[in-house]
Structures are given as structure tokens and as C-alpha cells.
A and B are shown apart, each in its own frame.
Chain A
Amino acid sequence: MKWTKDLRQGTVIVSPGEPVDHENAEDFESRLIPSVEEASRSGGCLIIDFRNVDYMTSVGLRALMMAAKEADLAAVKILVTGLNETMREIFHISGFEKLFVIHESLESALAATSTT
């Protein structure tokens, strides 16, 4: 899957580059989990920027949950940003909006990392 990774102010920022469904969910998870580990070794924060993700099915959401569980164990804070309207609705309907801290912008998410 298309994937970009950046490191800013000690925060790992990952950005999947396409929708996540059963075709690429395993790939998504296999990139996401190591990013949690990387965040653990750096500043302790991971931002997932979904600006290039039009939609995500249940398998992608489950992978996100696995990352959250890993993050809990590693004391990593996950912040989510870049949700389009569809992704916002998916997070709402699935109940994931209650499980993740969602920020309006990457800048807002980065600012939040500095307060942790």
C-alpha cells in the first residue's frame, strides 16, 4: 500500500495513501504496528494522518484497534487526523470516535503532542 512516514519534533507521523479494505488490511497493519514501536522509541506519540484515505472497512478498523492495543502496552499516544466526511461517519458508526483522539488538522495534533 502507498505509505509515507515522517518524524517531526520527535513524533512519528504516518499517512496511508489509499483506502483500507480486505485487499490491503494486512499490509496496513504490518506497517502500522512497527510505527507504534518506532514511536515508543522516539517521543512516545504517533499521529496517523488519514488525509489520503477515502474510506476504511471493518478489517482496517480492526487493524487500527490492534495498533491502539500495542500503543497502550508501549505507553504510546495515538492521535488521528485528516478524516474526510466519510471517514468521520465511519468512525462515528463503528464507535471508533470514542476510542481515538481525533484532531481537525495535523498542526493541531502536533501541538497536542507537545503537551504530553
Chain B
Amino acid sequence: MLVRFWGTRGSLPTAMRSSEVRDKLIGALKASNGRHFQSDAAIGNFVDTELDFPIRATYGGASSCVELDGTSDEYLVCDMGSGLREFGLDAIQRSRQGRKKTYNIFMSHLHWDHIMGFPFFVPAFDPDVTIRIFGGHDTIEQALRRQQDRISFPVPFDFLQARFEFTILIPGEVTEVAGCRVELLRQHHDNDSYGYRFSCNGQSVVYSTDSEHKLEDPLSIQRVVDFFHNADLVIMDTMYSLADAVSMKADWGHSSNVVAVDLCHRAKARRLAMFHHEPVFDDNTIRKLHLDTIRYEELMRKESALEVLCAYDGLEVPL
């Protein structure tokens, strides 16, 4: 299985400013220290191996969209943030190579940043496509139709040519989709959100975003620990610092890097992918958060190590 991140930004898509690009170029040229390179490949090697992430790359700015590839010949996707647009274009190319035109999409919830990619999802205009949308909310179709009301968007939902199926999932029940056993967990977020655990070919991935973990409620925390138990990868909302999450941003419905590590340690998960990055953070800030989280994991580790990744648009994690 390959987990592919198409959108990793929280709340609102962001675009890098020219000044940030300039800073990256300055950083790269300083690091090269006047060196002469014999070829493009040599330059590429220098960029890939000697430059720190915020200089050579960016975490990106598309909102939530994650693909689990390789579970079956159907597509399996979590959320329809603005990253869905690029996923759709890529999937069209793959389907031209013979991939089945069936999309299974699991919705964490229906807030704008998690559905805004749908009007730009080109496969929805293909009459040979089937789009199955799953979630814990019974208002998914309503949310998608409302988003394409004429007051907000020029193309109405009924203009779409794909065949749609909407399935409401119940926490505690197991669903088999695209070669995976899927469970969901209701999470603390305004109007609720749902986390998903996908168990496919002996591997398990948890997608848990837009979830505030109420540390004063040990039973709800234990439910999360059980849900994460032994996961090969936990993709988790780490939008705030713990200090913010339990003070001025309490009840805003998001979590922190520190809580993510604590939950994954208790659950004996193998990898954590930090996700749903705060839109006001630039690449340097997110990189610092990533390094801090790696350090916190080292400090608090009791048993085997938890690998801490920081998701970015375009990251692929093979499992």
C-alpha cells in the first residue's frame, strides 16, 4: 500500500508568497557556497541531500485529501479538500492506463476545507465513473449540492455525469470497501467529525483529522488509543501547540503534536504523520514543529520508537 498526500493544510488553502521563494533561493545559493556542478543531476543530488526541507521544498497549501493506493483496483480517498483537484487529474491519467473508474471517498466531516475540492473533481463529469461517498454524517449529499448552488458555483451538482452513491456509516460497525476493512470513530469537533481505520492486506492506516482530544475524559482517550492500536500509520491533526489547544483554542476542535505522540505511544503505533497544518505557519515554522515533535517522541519513548513524519503535499509513504 502507498499512502499519498494530495492536501495537508488545515482550515484554508495557502499559497507561498514570492518572498518565501526568494528566501529559499538565497538559502540554496548560500548552502552551495560557490560550488560548481557538472550536471543537472549533480545539482539535483545537492538539492536532495544537502538542503534542509524548508529550503529545497514546501509543505504545500492544498487542504485535506489523502489517497490509499494499492488496496484494490478501485480508488480510495479520505476527504475532498482542495487537494482533490490534483488527485482527480492524476487519477484520470491512471484510469487511461486501465485503472477501474470507481472512487471510494471517506469524509471526516463536511466543513468547507474538506469539501471544497469537489467542484473541481474532473472525474465527476465522466459518465463511466462511479463515485461512492462514505461518512458518518447524513448530510453529505446536501453539503455537496449546496456548495454547487448557483449562488456559490456556476456548475450545479445535477450537471455532473458520474454515478453517485452515498452511504452513511455507523461507528462500531465494520464496512468492507476497496479491499479494506473500514471502521470509524466519532470525534470531538464542531458538528462532529469521524476518524477512519483502514485495515488492508495486513496493514492498518488511521486517518484522524479535525479532532480535539479531551484529556480530562480518560474513557474517550482510551477509545482513541484502542482505535489507533498497533497502526502502521496514524495520520493526525497536529494543528496547534498543546498550550494553545488547552487554553485560548480549547473547543476549537483540533489537536497538538504533543497529544499525537502521547496517543501513538500508548497505542504502540509505528508511524505518525503530522497533518492539517495551521495556515498561518510558513515552511520554517512547520519544520521546527516537526523537529520538536521528533524530540518530544525521543524524550517520552518507553518502548519501540515511533517514527514521526510531517505530511506535505506530494508525500508518498509506502507501507
Chain B residues near A22: list those with CB within 8 A.
218, 221, 262, 266
How many A residues touch the partner, as a band? Answer: 20 to 34
A114 at the interface (CB under 8 A from B): no
Bound form: Cα–Cα A22–B259 in Å = 12
A53 at the interface (CB under 8 A from B): no
Bound form: Cα–Cα A93–B257 in Å = 9
Q: Are B218 and A26 in contact (CB under 8 A)?
A: yes
Q: Are A94 and B242 in contact (CB under 8 A)?
A: yes
Interface string of B178-219 (1 = CB under 8 A from A): 000000000000000000000000000000000000011010
B128 at the interface (CB under 8 A from A): no
Bound form: Cα–Cα A57–B301 in Å = 11
Bound form: Cα–Cα A95–B257 in Å = 11
Interface residues of B in 217-261 (CB under 8 A from A): 218, 221, 241-244, 246-247, 256-259
Interface string of A48-92 (1 = CB under 8 A from B): 000000010111011001100000000000000000001001101
Distance in Å from the Cβ of B252 to the closest Cβ of chain A?
Answer: 15
Bound form: Cα–Cα A32–B140 in Å = 45
Nearest B-chain residue to A26, judged by Cβ: B218
- A61 in contact with B295 given A94-B241, A94-B243, A95-B242 (CB within 8 Å): no
Bound form: Cα–Cα A38–B246 in Å = 24
Interface size on B, residues (CB 8 A): 22
- A58 in contact with B295 given A96-B243, A98-B243 (CB within 8 Å): no
Interface centre among B258, B259, B266 (most CB of A within 10 A): B258
Bound form: Cα–Cα A30–B293 in Å = 29
Chain A residues near B215: list those with CB within 8 A.
25, 58-59, 62
Chain A residues near B247: list those with CB within 8 A.
65, 99
Q: Are B216 and A95 in contact (CB under 8 A)?
A: no
Bound form: Cα–Cα A65–B243 in Å = 8
B37 at the interface (CB under 8 A from A): no
Q: Are B296 and A93 in contact (CB under 8 A)?
A: yes
Q: Are A89 and B242 in contact (CB under 8 A)?
A: no
Interface residues of B in 250-301 (CB under 8 A from A): 256-259, 262, 266, 292-293, 295-296, 299-300
Distance in Å from the Cβ of A100 to the closest Cβ of chain B?
Answer: 10
Tell me how many residue pairs across A and B have CB atoms closer than 8 Å. Answer: 59
Bound form: Cα–Cα A98–B247 in Å = 12
Bound form: Cα–Cα A103–B300 in Å = 23
Q: Are A93 and B292 in contact (CB under 8 A)?
A: yes
Bound form: Cα–Cα A59–B222 in Å = 12
Distance in Å from the Cβ of A13 to the closest Cβ of chain B?
Answer: 24
- A65 in contact with B246 given A59-B215, A95-B241 (CB within 8 Å): yes
Distance in Å from the Cβ of A47 to the closest Cβ of chain B?
Answer: 20
Nearest B-chain residue to A100, judged by Cβ: B243
Nearest B-chain residue to A91, judged by Cβ: B243
Q: Are B242 and A58 in contact (CB under 8 A)?
A: yes
Residue from the list A58, A65, A92 in contact with B259, Cβ < 8 A: A58
Chain B residues near A25: list those with CB within 8 A.
215
Q: Are A90 and B246 in contact (CB under 8 A)?
A: no
Q: Are B243 and A57 in contact (CB under 8 A)?
A: no
Chain A residues near B216: list those with CB within 8 A.
62, 66
Distance in Å from the Cβ of B249 to the closest Cβ of chain A?
Answer: 11
Chain B residues near A89: list those with CB within 8 A.
295-296, 299
Nearest B-chain residue to A86, judged by Cβ: B299
Q: A62-B242, A94-B243, A95-B243 are in contact. List 19 more A-B contacts (CB 8 A).
A: A22-B221, A22-B266, A26-B218, A55-B299, A55-B300, A58-B242, A58-B256, A58-B259, A59-B221, A61-B258, A62-B216, A62-B246, A86-B299, A89-B295, A89-B296, A94-B241, A95-B244, A99-B243, A99-B247
A residues near B (Cβ < 8 Å) are: 22, 25-26, 55, 57-59, 61-62, 65-66, 86, 89-90, 92-96, 98-99
A and B contact pairs by CB, cutoff 8 A, 15 listed: A22-B266, A25-B215, A55-B300, A57-B258, A57-B300, A58-B215, A58-B259, A61-B246, A90-B299, A93-B292, A94-B243, A94-B256, A95-B242, A95-B244, A96-B242
